[in-house]
Amino acid sequence: MSYTISGLTTVGDCDVLLTSAGKEKADLEFKKLSEERLTNKYATTSVEVDAILQGVLVELSAVNTIIGVLPDGPTKEEEIKKKVKLEYKKFLLENRKESYGAVALLEKELDLARVVKELDEVNAFITVVTDHKGTL
């Protein structure tokens, strides 16, 4: 972006802007670090949730098959209880997948990209003001 620095006529004006931009830069660097950590967490969690969910689905399918061939009795009742627990676990994992899945990961990556762009622009602003300060 092109800045109208011609209005800056004193070193003091430049110093005020540089101090403000320096604070903004520090805040953005912290935000960038936070976003990087969150993005990494989402990436790891997304893979873990998908893997666990696939295992639960396979186990649920096996339990359904077992229930279908067992005669009524205590063993069948235990398998039905196991099925209910697995269905609940599946429900929880699907909800967690919404929070940490591929879509959530992409949203975090977008947040990180935005912060990086903001940081680049603040750095460019600091460079422009610093260069102008040198001419005063």
Residue 123 covered by a domain:
yes
Evaluate whether residue 124 is within a structural domain.
Answer: yes
In a domain, 1, yes or no: no
Question: What confidence score (pLDDT) does residue 109 get?
Answer: 95
2: in domain: no
Residue 57 lies in a domain: yes
CA separation for the pair 74, 76 (Å, rounded): 5
Task: Report the pLDDT value the prediction gives residue 81, as an integer from 0 to 100.
Answer: 95
Task: Look at residue 135 and tell me if it is in a domain.
Answer: no
| Residue 119, Ramachandran bin (φ over 0: left; ψ between -120 and 50: alpha; else beta) | alpha
What is the domain range of residue 64?
Answer: 9-130
Average pLDDT over residues 43-59: 91
Q: How far apart are CA 92 and CA 113, in angstroms?
A: 30
Q: What is the pTM of this model?
A: 0.71
* More reliable by pLDDT, 43 or 18: 18
Note whether residue 84 is domain-resident: yes
Domain count, the chain: 1
pLDDT tier at 105, thresholds 50, 70, 90: confident
The 8-class DSSP code of residue 72 comes to S
Going by C-alpha positions, the residue among 93, 112, 109, 6 that lies closest to residue 50 is 93
